[in-house]
Chain A
């Protein structure tokens, strides 16, 4: 079970990314139809379809040549990023109705549930998780927010600067371990 956290600037640029593998297991809520997928084609593009529809997570499919050596983590990572990016649509829509900072399960896509946290500065924290969002996700977001605010107080930091602070990274990992 994995979690993906993205801190997105107001221009949709990721400033920080974290993939957290949790030891806690969640009950599989996948549809029975999602298993035993057939493999229609071995073409490279079929891999893309499989990956995007989430099939490659369950079945082992040939990874497409269209995305060779994605920076850091294979096709899955790219798909996760795409889902996070696409969920911004739903998040932005929700923000218009819901004035709260924590948007629980703002979007669902494939097997992912997307929760978001919008700071007053329009920074978006997007978390992809498979379990149902509950208080632990909210607490996690609150802690990340605090860490972010501390980072943002750095006078050399702007809203569009990527966060490379190792302290920030370590602390976010710590709270991810704590809550997720």
Chain B
């Protein structure tokens, strides 16, 4: 079972490992592109890692409208719980 908190923790680890971001600069309201310098190619890698974590099918389209770390957490949470992701 994945809670939003555990998803956030995993997401943080992924970002630190893949994107060399300092853990303490990551917050829920941090914007991916502007503040964390995560581009579309990074996003693809991030989705691959999230897929490994949750075992759920995920498509880049599921993350089309994400802007902040919170948005990613919500989208993953919704997918894990088989809801349509909230926009």
**A in complex with B:** no
